[in-house]
Amino acid sequence: MTAPRIEACGLTRLFSGGAGVRGVDFDVIAGEIHALVGLNGAGKTTLMRLLLGMLRPTSGAVRIDGRPLRTADWSTVGHLVETPLAYGELDGRANLMLAARLHGADANRAARMVDDVLTELNLAQYAAVRARRMSLGNRQRLGLAAALQHHPRVVVLDEPTNALDPAGVILLREALVRRAADGAGVLVSSHHLDEVARVAHRITVINAGRVIGTLDPRGVDIERSFFALVHADDTHRDRSPL
Amino acid sequence: MNLSMLATAVAVEGRKAAASRVLTSTAVLLTVGVAALAAATTAAADGGDGQLAAKLGPLAAAGGWPAVLNVATQVTAAAGLLAFGVGLSWMFGREFTEGTITGLFGLPVTRPALAAAKLVVFLLWAAATATALTVAVALAGTAVTRQAPQPADWAGLGRLLALAVMTAALAVPAAWAATLGRGLLPAIATIVALMAVTQIIVVVGAGGGWFPPAAPALWALSPTTVGAAELLFAAVFPAAFSVLTLHAWHRLQLDR
């Protein structure tokens, strides 16, 4: 059996008002793209924050490549949650160099990584452009490059296609397929079944902070299946005593 | 946190600081502002402006180098705290207001290392700014008095340099406030409150030397009125807030 790159057991973290995640068991296997889909506010970002140590769970635990978060090898993790790691006063290349250094690369290796990812994500023309002058989509692409350039074994991307144009979506999809083929475990979230969710090996549906089922990525009408799952869960909760 | 990790973090934070217009413009404004005010008020007092001389007090009203140094020291104590506080507030607060803080999680370079690097880079920037400020005051003083500094004036310039560095260190609570408040405004509010309380304590004259934010300025203006113990106590103040800031970055959660 393939070892999980990410493993979460019984993860719970609730906020005032009832939002959050409740008792989530979840994993991402090496070599797979795992899509997490749910409506806005379903708990996708909270779950990703818990997986990356941005939030501490009230119960449950996370392991990255078999190790608890406290001792995880973070140089093998790449992520983009909500905001790209891009500083407006720095140009594309400088931003990527900083991200590479922060992921443990020395200056020489970082320079090579940056050259490669600029080509891979078609960002070369923005290498000398300050991030504050880039469009939203190009800033997102820069953030994705920062998350992927060190070829991490664990990739976590929250709504990665936000603001991307169709060409950007295809470049991202191909980059993720390459990372997974090299053995990375890739987790992407989406609030709709977009192009990235469609290249997933597994699709997990989250609703109201709980994992409520899975979808077959090769299914003929996965949108219909998705809404059927969510509707059934909402109906079940409405009928259940609090 | 090991030395290699800290060196990487300092290199990253140094690159960000070097490209920052906020830090550059703040340093220029403080340097030029202090030198210009010291020169202009001294020139006015030397020119017989009685009203201004009365406002400046007996030392500044005497004109010459004592006036230049007295005005520069007073302005540096107040405006320096604000300027260095703004710089530090921006260095820490921007990560929250711009949302880049999420990218500083899940890295082999730990958050305490990044926070420590920000403080190191801040102190380097502050030291460079303090040096530029002292040189600018020396040049402005020479121009307005038409005299080279005498040994007592060099000593005053030395105290001005030390005061500027110590004032920068006294702004460290801004880093803690930016972290707890998740942004720039709580940090700047903290600096403004610190300035206000310091002014009140100094004006009331209630043993200002024992209030850390007041001690360096009182010492720079009149070295015999503040003892070594009081200056040492003032040094503990930024050290304590540095530890609090590193702890806050270690325990940080994105739960708001």
A12-69 pLDDT, tens digit each: 999 988 889 999 999 999 999 999 999 988 999 999 999 999 999 999 999 999 999 9
Mean pLDDT of B94-119: 97
Mean pLDDT of B196-221: 79
Q: Is A77 near chain B, with CB under 8 Å?
A: yes
Q: Is the pLDDT of residue B46 over 90?
A: no
Backbone φ and ψ of A182, nearest 5°: -85, 0
Q: Is the pLDDT of residue A200 over 70?
A: yes
Q: Is A103 near chain B, with CB under 8 Å?
A: yes
Query: Which is higher by pLDDT, A235 or A220?
Result: A235
Q: Quick check: is A50 in a domain?
A: yes
A169 contacts: CB under 8 Å, gap ≥ 6 = A161, A194, A195, A196
Q: Quick check: is A143 in a domain?
A: no
Residue pLDDT, tens place only, A78-106: 999 999 999 999 999 999 999 999 999 99
| Chain A positions in Cβ-Cβ contact with residue B16 (cut-off 8 Å) | 87, 89-90, 98
Q: Is the pLDDT of residue A1 over 60?
A: no
Q: Do B253 and A54 touch (CB under 8 A)?
A: yes
Confidence label for A205 from pLDDT (cuts 50, 70 and 90): very high
Q: Do A55 and B255 touch (CB under 8 A)?
A: yes
Least confident residue range of A119-128, B60-69, B78-87, B149-158: B60-69
Q: Quick check: is A198 in a domain?
A: yes
Cβ(B209)–Cβ(B218) below 8 Å: yes
Q: Round to whole Å and give the CA distance between B47 and A42.
A: 73
**Which of residues 225 through 254 in chain B touch A, CB cutoff 8 A?**
253-254
Backbone φ and ψ of A195, nearest 5°: -60, -35
Pick from B20, B107, B253: which is nearest to A103 by CB? B107
CA-nearest residue to B98 within chain A is A83
Q: Is A82 near chain B, with CB under 8 Å?
A: yes
Cβ(A117)–Cβ(A152) below 8 Å: no
Confidence label for B206 from pLDDT (cuts 50, 70 and 90): low
| Chain B positions in Cβ-Cβ contact with residue A56 (cut-off 8 Å) | 253
Least confident residue range of B11-20, B57-66, B201-210: B201-210
Residue pLDDT, tens place only, A105-158: 999 999 999 999 999 999 999 999 999 999 999 999 999 999 999 999 999 999
Q: Is the pLDDT of residue B141 over 70?
A: yes
Q: Is A89 near chain B, with CB under 8 Å?
A: yes
Q: Do B109 and A102 touch (CB under 8 A)?
A: yes
pTM of the model: 0.93
Q: Quick check: is A128 in a domain?
A: no
Mean pLDDT of B43-48: 77
Using DSSP, state whether A217 is helix, strand or coil.
coil
Total of domains in chain A: 1
Q: Do A98 and B15 touch (CB under 8 A)?
A: yes
| CATH, residue A221 | 3.40.50.300
pLDDT of residue B125: 98
Helical (H) or strand (E) element with B89: helix B64-97
Q: Is the pLDDT of residue B92 over 80?
A: yes
pLDDT of residue A8: 96
Q: Round to whole Å and give the CA distance between B53 and B59.
A: 9
pLDDT of residue A196: 67
Go through chain B and tell me how many residues it has: 256
Q: Round to whole Å and give the CA distance between B17 and B123.
A: 12
Using DSSP, state whether B141 is helix, strand or coil.
helix
The single-letter DSSP state of residue B37 is H
Q: Quick check: is A234 in a domain?
A: yes
Q: Is the pLDDT of residue B201 over 90?
A: no
Q: Do A101 and B19 touch (CB under 8 A)?
A: no
Pick from A55, A84, A146: which is nearest to B254 by CB? A55
Query: Which is higher by pLDDT, B244 or A240?
Result: B244
**Which of residues 61 through 120 in chain B touch A, CB cutoff 8 A?**
98-100, 102-109
Contacts 24+ apart (CB under 8 A), A94-97: A94/B15, A94/B19, A95/A131, A95/A142, A95/A146, A96/A142, A96/A145, A96/A146, A96/A149, A97/B15
Q: Is B24 near chain A, with CB under 8 Å?
A: no
Confidence label for B59 from pLDDT (cuts 50, 70 and 90): low
Q: Quick check: is A133 in a domain?
A: no
Closest CA to B114 of B241, B13, B2: B13
Pick from B12, B21, B102: which is nearest to A89 by CB? B21
Mean pLDDT of B109-128: 97
Mean pLDDT of A165-184: 94
Q: Quick check: is A92 in a domain?
A: no
Q: Round to whole Å and give the CA distance between B9 and B121.
A: 10
Q: Quick check: is A134 in a domain?
A: no
**β-strands A202-207, A33-37 pairing:** parallel
Confidence label for B60 from pLDDT (cuts 50, 70 and 90): low
Q: Is A79 near chain B, with CB under 8 Å?
A: yes
pLDDT of residue B10: 97
Q: How far is B115 from chain A (nearest CA, A)?
A: 13
Q: By residue range, what is the domain housing residue A40?
A: 4-23+30-84+152-239
pLDDT of residue B128: 98
Q: Do B106 and A103 touch (CB under 8 A)?
A: no
Mean pLDDT of B87-97: 97
